[in-house]
Every structure is written in structure tokens, then in C-alpha cells.
Amino acid sequence: MVNDNVQMKILIMMDPGILIPVAGYGGHERLVEMFAKEYNRLGHEVHLLITDGSYIPNCTTHGLGKAGFPPTKKDANKAILTAWKFLWKHRNDFDIIHNFGRLIYLLPVWNSNVKKIMTYGREITGSNINKLLRLPHKNIIFTGCSNNLISRSGAKGKWHAVYNAINFNAYNLKEDVGNNAPLIFLGRIEKIKGCHTAIAIAKETGNKLIIAGNVSPLEDEKKYFEEQIQPQIDGLKIKYVGQVNDVQKNEWLGKSKALLMPIEWNEPFGIVMIEAMACGTPVIAFNRGSVNEVIDENITGYKVNNKEEMIEAIRKLNFLSRAGCRKRAEERFDVKVIAQQYINLFA
């Protein structure tokens, strides 16, 4: 383990486009903000190369590109040149560079002594990584947000699974919600997330269902919402509350007896799972992608294979302790835990 008394100078990088602090959407940006604050709390000097105009207390921010998401191709290419100039100029200034952005940003320091962490939270293009690894390189560690994600990449190099994190202090444990509490589906409403299955399960088990999340702007997904989801929303048994902010998310998750995740794809991680657990709300999810790694069976929820097993798991919710659910999740996924895992990668 790295000595806590050793102060390091850390640079965190993130693709430009979304301002930090995050006002709305911005999954990776929220992680960057959390880790910057935690590295600083641990006594390290933190610099960030991120969207112009971003601000994090007690940290030094450097602009990588203007706000606007998604960025234009011109702005995205301009960010590469900006990153290269910055890293070449400061190639000897940092102890660790932690990159949440594009791999190509690291090219100027690819073969330098500075310790580099390249973090992936979405599907990994192994061929691009393998091409760069043919070049002389040193002190580069790759991380993915689950072993499942890494295993699908075909990427060479030194890899570690380091899970996503949340600040558990921002979530309130609700220990008792009662048998009449609703189920909840929280996430972007598109077919692969399985909202239609959550509705069917709620109806078959006689439970209310809260649906929270934004409708995808893609035409096929808008059609999915309009044809398969919207006609079933009655405001009573099936209630749609729209996109929710952090305060509303805390409230709706806390008052629900379980989060349903009947996913139809290999979810790389799914931060909503640990957000629910932080409120004491167990997760019942189809066992795909990272689900097997995130849920502790019979403690933070249930891993199931199909609709019938999800229905059966709902009947077993009274066997779970909501306080125990939060405790186990906090031990594994709190930002203090995960930030230290990153710091220790080069131990």
C-alpha cells in the first residue's frame, strides 16, 4: 500500500464537453469530480485537464476544450492537440496521470517515467490499445469498471478491475419501507434496459412500479417508449416521474423496496445499482455483464436469469436487511475505498 503520508502530484484527465461540477447528465464527470476531491482529501496535489470553466475546490483546473455535449469532431480533434501540448510541457511535473478520456491523449508521455492509469467505463476497443502497445511504453496500467468488461476487450497490457464509486455520504439509508412500497426502474428508457419487462413483472406481482429516467433521443428508442411503455403508464400502478436529479433520485430509491434491472445487454457496471444499495434498497438484476460482480447474493440483492426468477426474488425481499445492504455496498464501492485502490495500483 502507498504510504498515506507521501504527497503526490496527480493529474486527472477527462474528455471536454460537460462542465464540472455536473448539473445534469455526466457519469464519468461525476467520477472525476469525486476522485479529485478524494485525492485532495488524502493530501495529494490535484490538477485536472478538463472542460474549460470547470471548478473543483482546492484543485487546479486546466482547460482542454469548450463546453458542449457531444463535442463536434473539430472540437474533439482540437482537444487532442491541446492535451499533447500540455502533457509534453509538463511531462516531468506529475507523479501520476489518471486518464478518463481518450487513450491518444497519453501519447507524449507514453514512454516516459510518469505513472499512468488509463480508466475505461464503457466498451473497450482492444485493437486501438494493442496498436499503441507496439510502441515503446512504460508505467501504464489499464483499468476497467468490471472484470466482465475487461474480458470482452481482447486488449493486451496490464489490467485491473477497479469498480465505479459513489459518495455514500450523499445517500440516506431508509431501513423500513413496508410491504406496500413500490418497485423502481431507474435509468435511460431504452429496450436493452428492460423497462417493458419491469412493467410486466410489477403487474404480475401486484406491485406498484416507479419509472424514473430520460427517454433516449434515438428514433428507435423514442418509438419503443411511445409504443411499449407510455400506453402502460396510468399514474397509479405504473408511474413515470421523468428524469430525476440527485435529490429526487435519493428520495425515489429510498422509498422503493427493490430496484429492478431486467437488462438485455452486458452492462459494463451500472452505477444505479450502488446508488440504490446506498439507500438500503436491494437490487434484483438479470445476471449479465457486471451484475455478477456488483451484487452480493442474499445481502445486496439477487442475481436472476429470467422473468420468472425475478418474480420469485421479489417474494424473498423480506429476508434482506436494508441496513446490511448499505453496509456491504459501502465497504466495496464508497469513493474512499475506490480512490485508495487507484492510488495503490503502483504499489
pLDDT at 146: 96
Grid coordinates given for 107: 501519447
Calculate what percentage of the chain has a pLDDT beyond 90.
89
pLDDT of residue 312: 97
Among 169, 338, 335, 314, smallest CA distance to 256 is for: 314
pLDDT at 2: 47
Question: In this predicted structure, what is the pLDDT of residue 1?
Answer: 42
User: Domains along the chain?
Assistant: 9-162 (3.40.50.2000), 168-332 (3.40.50.2000)
Q: Give the chain's residues under pLDDT 50.
A: 1-3
pLDDT digits (tens, 9 = 90+) for 59-92: 999 999 999 888 889 999 999 999 999 999 999 9
Question: What DSSP letter does each residue of 15-55 carry, written as one string?
Answer: -SSS-SS-SSS-HHHHHHHHHHHHHHHTT-EEEEEEETT--
DSSP per-residue string spanning 127-174: HHHHHHTTS---SEEEEES-HHHHHTT---S-EEE----B-GGGS---
**Cβ distance 262 to 302 under 8 Å?**
no
- Contact (Cβ atoms closer than 8 angstroms) between residue 162 and residue 338: yes
Could you give phi then psi for residue 242, rounded to 5 degrees? Answer: 75, -165
Q: Give how far Cα 254 sits from Cα of 184, 264, 303, Å.
A: 10, 25, 20
Report in angstroms the alpha-carbon separations of 272 from 18, 121, 129, 215, 305. 20, 14, 29, 16, 19
The pLDDT assigned to 5 comes to: 57
